[in-house]
Chains A and B, each alone.
Chain A
Amino acid sequence: MATDTTPTSATATKPPVQKVTPATWLRENLFSNWWNSLLTVLFVPLIAWALWSIGRFLFVTGRWEIIIVNLTNLMVGDFPREQFWRLWVAMAILAAVGGLLVGVTAAAAREAAVITGRELDTSWRETARRLGPPVSFLVVMMLFVRTATPLLLLVGVIAIGVAGFVLGRRVPHDRRALVNLAVVAGVAGSLVVISGFGGVSRDSWGGLLITAYFTIGSLLLAFPIGVLVALGRRSTLPVVRWTTTVYVEFFRGSPLIALLFVGWLVLPFMFPPEWENITRISRALIIFTLFTSAYVAEIVRGGLQSIPRGQWEAAKSLGLSPWKQTRLIILPQALRNVIPALVGQGISLYKDTTLVLIIGLNDLLRVAQNITQQPQFLGQGLIAETLVFVSFIYWILSYWMSRESQRLEARLGVGTR
């Protein structure tokens, strides 16, 4: 049967496009019936008014002087200014390994898309959309920077990141696991650069720096712990199963703010007295890590359950040891399936770090409040400006991560197998 000669498949390649005039667009979208018309009449002025006031605040009445003066405080808190070179070196290292990681992930995602036959959107428009959030972040920052040095250094750091990305895309398939090691080494190395060798103790960190420290540090620590706990919950040893279950249920069932309080009070007693200087920052990091591990464990457990039984059976029948069945066959697939959920957990951790306010740490949000108490700004009601600024930082970076994770999700074809 010659089905390929039917007229539809040969000629009609695209659905017909109807020309939409502004008038018909208005009618169809805003005034299609009396109810929609009413809503339009009510809401258009409301939205216009809101946009007008926001615009007026941002560009006319807002006094952004406070951000310009305090940008450094917002970024790093009380970090000693003469030690800044350490931060720049650390940022360069992080940019390099971060670029590498993103490059490898991009290459892997591209392959996955090829496997599943998904089409990749490589148009310039898509690229522009992707660059939107980081570029707006940088532009906004630059609006407040008044000297050339940080801008030049920033350009350098970005260049290193891009170089890492390009390199990452060329990492051969069987070397990709090494990149994970490089990331861990890079993060550890950047920590050493900042605080080791006569560097700056974590107690004087502040601003976006500790926000980043908590987010990146806890995620990196929580990931392996969470995976182990998830595996523990499937263990054949009842003791392991029970302990891990209790752990997960306890941390998932407690409010983070309470845990931070308890950790702040209790953790010092749980370590040997010589360690009494276990800093508040370390305490918070431990709590964030324990808390996030429990959620990571649940996410990974879901991923493990999504792997069909046949995969285990094939791995067993080839004579792989139980550990190799898990490590080589099950985990890679399970983790790939839960990347979006893990990114979501990362975003929520990033925002939750604001809770350290209650144990007196100088994070971004608290710096934003404190600077309004400076003598030259006191009593001028500038809290709106500072809060808008830090909200923007939280929002734009969260939004960026979430967009990228949705994209990755589409590329990996999660859930479509």
Chain B
Amino acid sequence: MTESTLTSQALEAGGTGEVMITLEGVEKWFDDFQALRGIDLVVGRQETVVICGPSGSGKSTLIRCVNRLEEHDRGRIVVDGTELSDDVRDIQEIRRETGMVFQSFNLFPHLTIMENITLAPRHVRHKPKKDAEETAMKLLERVKIPEQAHKYPGQLSGGQQQRAAIARTLAMEPKVILFDEPTSALDPEMIKEVLDTMEELAESGMTMMCVTHEMGFARAVADRVVFMSDGGIVEVNDPESLFTDPQEERTQLFLSQIL
């Protein structure tokens, strides 16, 4: 695919008509094993892209390349005009602007929820403590757990922890948030509260790349769904078309298994 078709694809699909993330011919090897093959993808500003696919297809690897938790071996990754290079300053720049929410929450267990949320604003953005705490309180209200501010992560339920982790990410005012199976470690009754938070985020205009198996969420919230298999993108389409009328055989097979 050429850059222009990629771009127009993203712009048609929603968003604001501006490009936020560009992936061009991205390849990644773990030793001899190729985990990503020729990934071309453009994510528009304020767009929500859901990535799905079978286990081991490279979904996590793909989004982890965007903020350099994994290093890609070939191709280009550009986030909001900054190209990911070996220059530490570029990496730091992109990490400051890109939030990530993990399957296992990864809150810092030795800090209170408030400290978890204010840590990066204070130490990366050099915000005064008071400002950071005010913002944190607002964010906790937004994710509906203001009463947990002064507890430690270990005292919260899984769903509350994940919402605190989302608040921690939002505190950096990121331009993009990457989600790696944010609800997979949760009990069923807690999944909804996290998905609701994510839906609210998407509606507020956040640019999001979500790896998730929650097809209901994808249908309701995603602008586009990317289907991956064996390290490559098989099919990209709006959720309605992809789920009801998949073009590729592998997509059909996958959907028949999970739906």
Hey, which bits of chain A sit against chain B, CB under 8 A?
115-117, 310-311, 313-321, 324, 328-329, 332-333, 336, 417
Residues in A neighbouring B169, C-beta threshold 8 A: 318
Residue B172 CB within 8 A of the other chain: yes
B182 lies within 8 A of chain A by Cβ: no
Q: How far is the CB of B181 from chain A (nearest CB, A)?
A: 13
Docked-complex contact A316 and B69, CB < 8 angstroms? yes
Q: Are B120 and A310 in contact (CB under 8 A)?
A: no
**Structural contact, A310 and B102, CB atoms closer than 8 A:** yes
Q: Measured between alpha carbons, how far is A142 from B240 in the docked complex, in Å? A: 86
Whole-angstrom distance between the Cβ of B2 and the nearest chain A Cβ: 31
B110 close to A317 (CB less than 8 A)? no
Chain B residues with Cβ below 8 Å from A332 are 110
B154: contacting residue among A116, A311, A324, A333, CB under 8 A: A116
Task: Identify B95's interface contact among A115, A318, A333, A336, CB under 8 A.
Answer: A318
Residue of A nearest to B103 (CB): A310
Contact B123 A328 (CB under 8 A): yes
B92–A321 CB distance below 8 A: yes
Q: Across the interface, do A313 and B152 meet the contact criterion of CB distance under 8 Å? A: no
Given A313-B69, A314-B108, A320 contacting B98 (CB threshold 8 A): no
Q: What is the bound-complex CA distance between A213 and B229, given in angstroms? A: 65
Q: Which of A319, A321, A336, A417 meets B172, CB within 8 Å?
A: A319
Q: B208 to nearest A CB, angstroms?
A: 15
The 6 closest A-B pairs by CB, nearest first: A314-B106, A319-B96, A317-B100, A318-B120, A310-B106, A115-B152
- Size of interface on B: residues with Cβ below 8 Å to A: 26
A318, B172: Cβ atoms closer than 8 Å: yes
Question: Given the complex, which residues of B lie within 8 Å of A314, measured CB to CB?
Answer: 100, 102, 106-108
* Docked complex Cα distance between A104 and B68 (Å): 39
CB-CB under 8 A from B104, the residues of chain A are: 310
Write 22 A-B pairs (CB below 8 A) sorted by A numbering: A115-B109, A115-B152, A115-B154, A310-B104, A311-B106, A314-B102, A314-B107, A316-B68, A316-B95, A317-B67, A317-B98, A317-B99, A318-B119, A318-B120, A318-B124, A318-B168, A319-B172, A321-B92, A321-B124, A324-B124, A329-B108, A333-B110
Residue of B nearest to A413 (CB): B154
- B125 to A: closest C-beta gap in Å: 9
* A-B contact sample (13 more), CB < 8 A, given A314-B106, A315-B108, A319-B124: A115-B109, A115-B152, A115-B154, A313-B100, A314-B107, A317-B100, A318-B120, A318-B124, A318-B168, A318-B169, A319-B96, A320-B120, A324-B124
